[in-house]
């Protein structure tokens, strides 16, 4: 499906026709080089979708074309939904950013390396400053591996409560609030959202976020299997269809990411707040645009501003120079250091199954790019970088 414009639409303008041509070229190049299998790209400017295209294959082997309504395994894009739900509870005075996590999860009591108790607050979970980590960010024989911790994308026999117990059994990497480390913090946060709302996490996301916005495809298990894109992994000469499970090496010296595409069909799989949802590009864009435009009907603009403000000061975000972190996603602090044309204050994140998104509040711009190819389509990969340059005409 290609973009289309009526004579009265914004795409009829020469500027937006040029934008479409540039993005088309990026998508066409990535497909021709077989770096991605398929993609859905949406661009919204000042509240209007000015580019909408599905291209390539949703399922290459079955010759199913990609469509705008195709469902994807969202991986870490799930964090956007859980972080927003957290802030909705804050807006309703059912939760406070300074609440100790133990108030809501009394059995979750991780300790420091010296054995001393540590105080983790809701704010630490949202900003990834809690002292937690991911299994794929440690060596293969690391503590999380020895404890049998799930990163939320594999299939394991235990549930969320047991996974939290295993996470808490491993000493924290640092005193909460003193460093930044990408982590399972949002899985813990999902459990807090459930406890504070009195609902299961899937029901909480539905009640607090999805239903008010009409996001009918956003769920923790696939709603329509026929619409779910197949999952592929980087390989040469072309991406390979993922196994079940699939292991993908990301960082040298660290363990592989374990991903099981069949998890999306398993109703018994625990709801991972950091990686467990399924949804569409249009659902993600609607949520992002809701936040960019001030948060109604979910949140007051003051809380959206807090989400989009760098909350970690000068703490470094490894491998992301020029970026800080807000309440749920990264925030651009220095475009020159980051090497990007995005405006200061831009929000950005993605997902390991091959996704990226960014919101440039200064330019009133929101971009969502979902692919079915890990890790090429993930933020930091060539495809989203090329796409960003095309959006900014560079």
Q: Average per-residue pLDDT in the chain?
A: 95
Q: In this predicted structure, what is the pLDDT of residue 9?
A: 44
Tell me if 241 sits within 8 A of 232, measured CB to CB. yes
326-331 average pLDDT score: 98
Instruction: Determine whether 315 is exposed, middle or buried from the number of CB atoms within 10 Å of its CB (0-12, 13-18, 19+).
Output: middle
Q: How confident is the model at residue 223 (pLDDT cuts 50, 70, 90)?
A: confident
**Percentage of the chain modeled with pLDDT above 90:** 93
Q: 204 and 194 in contact (C-beta within 8 Å)?
A: yes
Cα–Cα dist 2/24, whole Å: 9
Each residue's pLDDT tens digit, 127-138: 999 999 999 999
Mean pLDDT of 179-207: 98
Span 308-332, mean pLDDT? Answer: 97
Candidate list 76, 135, 197, 330, residue with the active-site label: 76
pLDDT average, residue stretch 324-335:
98
**Contact call for residues 37 and 44 (beta carbons, < 8 A):** no
Look up the pTM and report it. 0.96
Q: Does 53 score more than 60 pLDDT? A: yes
Position 199 pLDDT exceeds 90: yes
Q: Alpha helix (H) ranges present in the chain?
A: 14-32, 78-91, 101-104, 122-127, 143-147, 160-168, 185-197, 201-205, 211-213, 281-292, 301-307, 335-338, 382-391
**Per-residue CA distances from 179 to 153, 157, 257, 325, 362 (Å):** 25, 32, 23, 11, 28
Superfamily for domain range 70-338+370-394: DD-peptidase/beta-lactamase superfamily (3.40.710.10)
Give CA–CA dist 380/385, Å, rounded.
7
The pLDDT of residue 159 is above 90: yes
Residue 114 phi, psi (nearest 5): -85, 5
User: Does pLDDT of 6 surpass 80?
Assistant: no
31: helix, strand or coil: helix
Where do the domains of the chain lie?
Answer: 70-338+370-394
Residue 361: HSE in the Cβ half-sphere, 13 Å Cα cutoff? 20
Q: What is the pLDDT of residue 387?
A: 98
Confidence of residue 8 (pLDDT cuts 50, 70, 90): very low
Q: What is the pLDDT of residues 63-107, one digit of tens each?
A: 999 999 999 999 999 999 999 999 999 999 999 999 999 999 999
Give me the pLDDT at residue 380, please: 85
Chain centroid to CA 257: 15
- What is the pLDDT, as a whole number, of residue 1? 41
Q: What's the confidence (pLDDT) of residue 299? A: 98
Tell me which of 11 and 113 has the higher pLDDT. 113
pLDDT above 50 (res 338): yes
Average pLDDT score over residue span 200-204: 98
Whether residue 76 lies in the annotated active site? yes
How far, CA to CA in Å, does 126 sit from each of 9, 178, 184, 226? 38, 14, 10, 34
CA 227 – CA 265 distance, rounded (Å): 12
Grade residue 14 by pLDDT with cuts at 50, 70 and 90: confident
| Contact of 26 with 390, CB cutoff 8 Å | yes
Closest by CA position to 120, among listed 139, 105, 138: 105
Please give the full DSSP string across 242-281, using - where no structure is assigned: P-SSEEE--STTSPPEEE-GGGGG-TTS---TTT--EE-H
**pLDDT (tens digit per residue) in 247-300:** 998 888 899 999 999 999 999 999 999 999 999 999 999 999 999 999 999 999
Query: What is the mean pLDDT of the segment spanning 51-72?
Result: 98
């Amino acid at each position: 499906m290609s973009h289309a414009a009526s004579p009265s639409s914004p795409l009829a303008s020469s500027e937006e026709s040029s934008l479409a041509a540039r993005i088309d070229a990026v998508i066409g190049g990535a497909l021709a080089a077989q770096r991605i299998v398929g993609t859905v790209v949406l661009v919204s400017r000042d509240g209007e979708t000015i580019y909408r295209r599905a291209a390539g294959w949703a399922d290459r082997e079955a010759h199913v074309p990609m469509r705008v309504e195709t469902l994807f395994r969202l991986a870490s894009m799930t964090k956007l939904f859980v972080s927003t739900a957290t802030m909705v509870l804050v807006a309703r005075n059912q939760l406070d950013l300074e609440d100790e996590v133990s108030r809501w999860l009394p059995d979750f009591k991780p300790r420091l390396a010296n054995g001393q108790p540590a105080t983790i607050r809701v704010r630490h979970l949202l900003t990834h400053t809690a002292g937690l980590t991911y299994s794929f960010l440690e060596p293969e024989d690391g503590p999380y591996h020895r404890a049998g911790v799930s990163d939320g994308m594999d299939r394991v026999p235990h549930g969320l409560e047991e996974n939290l117990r295993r996470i808490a059994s491993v000493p924290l990497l640092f005193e909460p609030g003193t460093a930044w480390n990408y982590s399972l913090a949002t899985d813990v946060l999902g459990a807090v959202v459930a406890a504070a709302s009195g609902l299961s996490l899937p029901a909480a996301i539905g009640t607090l976020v999805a239903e008010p916005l009409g996001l009918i495809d956003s769920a923790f298990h696939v709603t329509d299997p026929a619409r779910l894109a197949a999952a592929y992994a980087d390989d040469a000469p072309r991406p390979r269809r993922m196994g079940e499970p699939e292991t993908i090496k990301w960082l040298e010296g660290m363990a592989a990411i374990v991903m099981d595409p069949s998890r999306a069909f398993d109703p018994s799989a625990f709801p991972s707040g950091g990686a467990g949802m399924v949804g569409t590009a249009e659902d993600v864009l609607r949520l992002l645009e809701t936040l960019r435009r001030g948060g109604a009907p979910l949140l007051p603009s003051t809380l959206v501003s807090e989400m989009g403000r760098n909350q970690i000061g000068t703490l470094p975000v490894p491998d992301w120079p020029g970026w800080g972190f807000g309440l749920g996603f990264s925030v651009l602090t220095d475009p020159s250091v980051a090497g990007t044309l995005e405006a200061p204050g831009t929000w950005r994140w993605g997902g390991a199954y091959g996704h990226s998104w960014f919101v440039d509040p200064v330019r009133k711009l929101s971009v969502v790019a979902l692919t079915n190819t890990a890790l090429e389509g993930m933020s930091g990969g060539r495809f989203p970088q090329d796409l960003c340059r095309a959006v900014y005409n560079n």
